[in-house]
Amino acid sequence: MEMFLEVADENMLAENEIWADFDEITKNHGFNFKIAHINANSIGGFKFYEIKTWLLSGRLDLLVISESKIDASFPDSMFHVEGFRLCRSDRKAGGGGLMVYVRSDVCFVRVKQFKGLSSQSLSNFRTESLTLKVKIGLLLLVFTDLRLYLYLHGRMSCLHSLRQHLR
């Protein structure tokens, strides 16, 4: 039991140091939009509690979570965080999954389709993706598969369509 407490105390100290570093860096940039990413390797259980604590600390405006490993049997209400809106893209089987928390006072829309890019061409990739158009002039594209990014990058007309969404 004592060994467990020592490890827990060391982990808590390491996490506090990380947040102290983050706070030091951001104190001169308090009005900047803060985005973070974590590969959760399953959002269930204690990990969600920890992530919820991060969000409620007020340090982040947007948090991307990959490898959430949840499906439609997990309702959004299980992952509610006061002051944030949740977007998610679940994989049907075999892990994966994306979640994005956006501070509730930030205006955004979820982009479902792009001109010049058929949903059929995206379905060739067995992966999930999310695209959010955020009011601050940010187009957030989240992919779990680098091949999908490379495919889109190779299609200049698609990139032009993405730029049009920012206007």
Kindly list the strands in the beta sheet with 108-110, ordered across the sheet, starting from the edge strand earlier in the chain.
108-110, 129-134, 138-143
The enclosing H or E element of 133 equals strand 129-134
Q: Is the overall model pTM greater than 0.85, yes or no?
A: no
Question: What is residue 65's predicted lDDT score, i.e. its pLDDT?
Answer: 93
Residues 83 and 131 in one domain: yes
Residue 11 phi, psi (nearest 5)? -65, -40
| Residue-wise pLDDT tens digits, 38-55 | 899 999 777 899 899 999
Q: What domain range includes position 21?
A: 1-30
Residues 26 and 45 in one domain: no
Residues 60 and 99 in one domain: yes
Written as six digits, the tokens of 81 are 């965080």
Q: What mean pLDDT is reported for the chain?
A: 76
pLDDT bucket at 1, cuts 50 / 70 / 90: very low
Question: What is residue 11's predicted lDDT score, i.e. its pLDDT?
Answer: 56
Question: What is residue 114's predicted lDDT score, i.e. its pLDDT?
Answer: 64
Question: What is residue 153's predicted lDDT score, i.e. its pLDDT?
Answer: 52
Residues 89 and 12 in one domain: no
CA-to-CA dists, residue 34 to 31, 48, 62, 79, angstroms: 9, 20, 6, 21
Examine the pLDDT at 76 and tell me if it is beyond 70.
Answer: yes
Examine the pLDDT at 158 and tell me if it is beyond 90.
Answer: no
- Cα separation, 55 vs 116, in Å, equals 36
> Apex CA 37: angle with CA 36 and CA 39, to 5°?
155
- What average pLDDT score do residues 7-21 get? 63
Question: What is residue 154's predicted lDDT score, i.e. its pLDDT?
Answer: 55
Examine the pLDDT at 107 and tell me if it is beyond 80.
Answer: yes
CATH number of the domain at 102, please. 3.60.10.10
Residue among 118, 144, 134, 149 at smallest CA distance from 41: 144
| Residue-wise pLDDT tens digits, 16-42 | 777 788 788 888 877 788 888 889 999
Residues 54 and 71 in one domain: yes
